[in-house]
Amino acid sequence: MTSPKKEVLVGKKGKIDKKKSKESIHTDKSAPINQPEKKGKKVTKLSNETISTQEKKDIKSETDLSEQGEKKVNKELHIAGEHLDSLKTDLPVTLNDIRDLIERKIVYDETKERMFNVLYEQLKGYQKEFLESLQKPIINNLLVLYDDINKLKNMALIEISDKRVINGIEAIETELLNILYQLDIVPFEKHPEILDPKLHKTVKVVETTEITEDKKVVEILKAGFSWQDKILRPEEVIIKRFKELKTNEGGIS
């Protein structure tokens, strides 16, 4: 009778053991299933934490770089501002210096040009005087020759009736005038009737009682010539000179 009870107890125990074993099995089954999920969550959580930490580091480094860049830019702007201020201060001085240099250069150029012009005029004058000194003796001889030919022509017109001789003398006179023209020597074109001290040289005076004829040119003895727009030789002339008649009580003396 005792044995069956024992079996029941055993059976009960077995039931209990089966229950426990089921629970244990159930526990064992659930444990492996849930355990990877928990591990996965931890890995995800860790990876998120790692990423967030890296992002923070990147953000921090970017912030540091931007701050450094900003500081560098501010420093450069400050240096540029100081340089600009110095330029503003020195600019009027620089402009004044440039203006002074330009004015001095202008004065120097004007002085140099004026000196060059003076030297050029002096050299031109020396050259002209030198040429005149060489040419004057020749020119004077040519003028004397012209005077002689002119006298010869006037005598031929009076004493010689042969026109061939007169034409020959006139041809020589024309050739001589051409030579004088080539030397820029020309006879006077105007012949004032009243004495002009610049153009005339009085060599003889004829008295006159008419006051309106005073200093009137009676005759031209030698022709006048100009050379390079200057008077080379004045005309030699005979003029009239007014002379008042003396009267006595008894009449004209």
Please name the residues in contact with 179: beta carbons below 8 A apart, sequence gap of 6 or more. Answer: 142
Q: Please report, for the domain that includes residue 238, its CATH number.
A: 2.30.22.10
**For position 224, what pLDDT does the model report?**
94
- Number of domains, the chain: 2
Residue at which a domain ends, from 168, 183, 198 = 183
**For position 109, what pLDDT does the model report?**
82
Tens of pLDDT along 49-77?
555 666 666 666 666 667 777 777 777 77
CB 195 within 8 A of CB 217: yes
**For position 103, what pLDDT does the model report?**
81
**For position 92, what pLDDT does the model report?**
60
| Residue 216, domain member (yes or no) | yes
Q: What token pair was written down for 29?
A: 């089954």
Please name the residues in contact with 139: beta carbons below 8 A apart, sequence gap of 6 or more. Answer: 180, 183, 185, 227, 232
Q: Are 179 and 87 members of one domain?
A: yes
**For position 102, what pLDDT does the model report?**
83
pTM of the model: 0.48
| Residue 20, domain member (yes or no) | no
Question: How many other CB atoms are there within 10 angstroms of residue 153's CB atom?
Answer: 17
| Residue 13, domain member (yes or no) | no
**For position 186, what pLDDT does the model report?**
93
**For position 226, what pLDDT does the model report?**
92
Q: Name which of 68, 71, 49, 50 is nearest 60 in CA terms.
A: 68
| Residue 196, domain member (yes or no) | yes
Residue indicated by tokens 């727009």: 229
Q: Are 178 and 105 members of one domain?
A: yes
Query: For the chain, which ranges sit under pLDDT 70?
Result: 1-65, 84-95, 246-253
Residue at which a domain ends, from 138, 159, 183 = 183
Q: Name which of 163, 172, 224, 229 is nearest 196 in CA terms.
A: 224
Residue indicated by tokens 């020396």: 126
